[in-house]
Chains A and B, each alone.
Chain A
C-alpha cells in the first residue's frame, strides 16, 4: 500500500523536475549560441534571435529535414506530391501544402502560417533558391519576403547536399545521434557499392531517359548523383555533345540511339517503366546491346536528398553491379 501511494508523489516530483529543466534550458542556450545562425548554400551566414520553429520548405528539403526530426509547418512542391518519385515514403500528414506546381506558391497561405524560416535548395547556376528561380511567377516569389530563405547548395555531390541539410537540422535543434546513425548506415552501403564497382573495373554505364521520339542521354556534369557514382568508381559515360541550350542532356534521335554502347543502361527513375517501354518499342532497341541483354536498371534522377534514400539506392545498385557483365561491350 505504501509503495502504491508513493507512485503519484514520484510522478509529481518528476513533473516538477521536468518543468524545471524546460524553463531553464532556453536560458542556458541563449548565451551560448547567440540564438541561431546557419551558413547557407549561398555562402552567407543567417542569424536570428530565436531558433526558427515555423518552417516552410520546398518538399525535397522538407523530406530531408523531417528525416532528421525537424517538421515544417508548410511545404511547396514542383508537382503532384503523391506521384513524385523523390517524395515516396515521406509523411506530410499535418503539414500544409502551399504549392503543387513548379513556380506556383500560394503566398497568402504561406503568410497565414507565419513562417520564421523558408528552406529550399540553393542553385548556384541560377543564383536562387528553389521557389525563387527565374521563371517562377512574381506573386510566388513574394514568399521570400516572409522570412529568411536558406538551404543547402546543389553542387557536385548529393552527399554534400545532405550534409548541408544535416548542419541546418542541427542548428534547428535536431538530435545529432539520429543524423549520425543515418550517416553510418549510408557509409556502410557506400563501402559495399565501392567494393562491387572495384571488382568490375571495365563496367560502363549510360544514364538515359527515352521519351516520345528522343533518346536523351544524361550529362553527369549536371547530375550530382551521377558525379557521385563516377567519383566512387563507376564509369558513367560522359556524352560528347550535350544539347547547346540545355546541357543536362544529349538528345539523340532513335536512329542514332546506338551511338553509345555501354555494358549497362540506367533509366531515369522518374518516368520508369514507361521510358523503358518507349525504348523497347523502337526497332533499334535490339541493336543496343545492354537493352537486348536485359542489362538495365534505374538511377535516382535529380531528386535525392536523404541518407536513407541514398543508402537504399546504393544497395540496389550494388546488387545490380554484382550481377552485371562488365564485358558485354568492348
Chain B
C-alpha cells in the first residue's frame, strides 16, 4: 500500500517540475515575441517609434497570444473531456463556422464600415453555434452523448458553412472580410481587441480550473459519475458554457485558429497521463507557448512581410499531431 502511494507522488513531482520548466520556456518565448519581428530593434538606442512598436504593437500581440493560446488549449481540453471524444476541438464543434457566418452576415447587413463590430459578431456566432450543438445533442433521454455531440457539431458546421458560402458568393465585401478574418492571426489586433476579449478569457480560464474534478469523474462514464454523486448534466452544461466563452472570445479576436485546441491536449497527455488537474494546468501554459512560437516563426520566415500564425500552425501542427497520434498513448482519454 505504501509503495503504491509513493509511486504517483514521485511522478507528480516530475510532472510539477515539467510544468515549471514549461512556464519558464513560456516566459522566454514572451520575451522573444516582444523583441523579435519584422522591425529590427536595438535596445541600446531606442527611438520613439521603437517604443510605439514594442508597447502598442508587440506587447498587445504577445498578450493576445497568451490569452488566445490558453483559451483555445483549455477549451480543447474541456471539449475533449466533456465530449469524451479525442477529436473534439473548436472546429469540429461548429464554433469556427458559427463565428464565420456571424461575421459575413454582419458585413451583409451592416456594411463594410462595421468591421469594428465583427469581434462581437464572431463572439455571438461562436456562442450560438455551440449552444445549437449542445441543445441538438441533448435531445433524447441519455442527453448529450459523445456520438450525438460529434454529429450535431458536423450538422451545425455544415449549415453554417453553406450559409457563409451563399453570402460571400453574393457579396464581394463579405468575401473580402471573411478572407482576411478566416486565416487566423495575432497581428494587426492591438490593445482595443485585447481589452475587448481579455476579460471573457480570464473569467473562462478561472472557471475552467474548477472543472478538473468533474471532468475526471466524467471520464469514468456517465453512470459511474452519477453513482459517485456527480450532477452530470449540470456539469456538462457548465463546461459547454465555459468552452463557448473561451473559444468564442479567442476566435472573435484572432479568427479561427486550427489545430491548437486539438493538438495541445494530446501533447499534454503524453506527459501528464489522464488527470485533468494536470492536463488543464499544462494546457494553460503549453497553449500560449505553442501559439506564440508559431507566431514568431511566422514573423521571421517571410521577412520583411509576415506569415499568419494560423498558416504556420496548420503547417507545423499537422505533422506534430500525426506523430502524437502514432505514439498512441496520447489519444487515450
Judge: A and B partners, yes or no: yes
Chain A residues within CB distance 8 Å of chain B: 212-214, 251-256, 258, 274, 281-284, 286-287
- Given A212-B180, A214-B305, also A254-B52 (CB < 8 A): no
Report the minimal beta-carbon distance from A265 to chain B, rounded to whole angstroms.
16
For chain B, the count of residues having a C-beta within 8 Å of the partner chain is: 18
| Chain A residues within 8 Å of B112, by CB | 274
Contact residues of B between 146 and 194, Cβ < 8 Å to A: 180, 185, 187-188, 190
| Chain A residues within 8 Å of B306, by CB | 213, 253
Closest-by-CB residue of B relative to A251 is B305
Closest-by-CB residue of A relative to B57 is A283
Contact B49 A254 (CB under 8 A): no
Chain B residues within CB distance 8 Å of chain A: 37-39, 48-49, 52-53, 56-57, 112, 180, 185, 187-188, 190, 304-306
Contact A284 B52 (CB under 8 A): yes
Contact A255 B305 (CB under 8 A): no
Contact A253 B39 (CB under 8 A): yes
Contact B304 A251 (CB under 8 A): yes
7 sampled A-B residue pairs with Cβ under 8 A: A252-B304, A253-B304, A253-B305, A254-B57, A258-B49, A281-B190, A283-B57
Contact B49 A284 (CB under 8 A): yes
| Chain B residues within 8 Å of A214, by CB | 305
| Chain B residues within 8 Å of A258, by CB | 49
Contact A255 B57 (CB under 8 A): yes
Contact A287 B304 (CB under 8 A): no
Contact B49 A213 (CB under 8 A): no
Closest-by-CB residue of B relative to A214 is B305
| Chain A residues within 8 Å of B304, by CB | 251-253, 256
Report the minimal beta-carbon distance from B26 to chain A, rounded to whole angstroms.
23
Report the minimal beta-carbon distance from A239 to chain B, rounded to whole angstroms.
12
- Given A212-B180, A213-B306, also A287-B188 (CB < 8 A): no
Closest-by-CB residue of B relative to A83 is B172
- New A-B pairs, 11, CB < 8 Å, besides A213-B188, A255-B57, A283-B57: A253-B39, A253-B304, A253-B306, A254-B57, A256-B39, A258-B49, A282-B190, A283-B53, A287-B48, A287-B49, A287-B52
Contact B38 A255 (CB under 8 A): yes
Bound-complex Cα distance A253 to B37 (A): 10
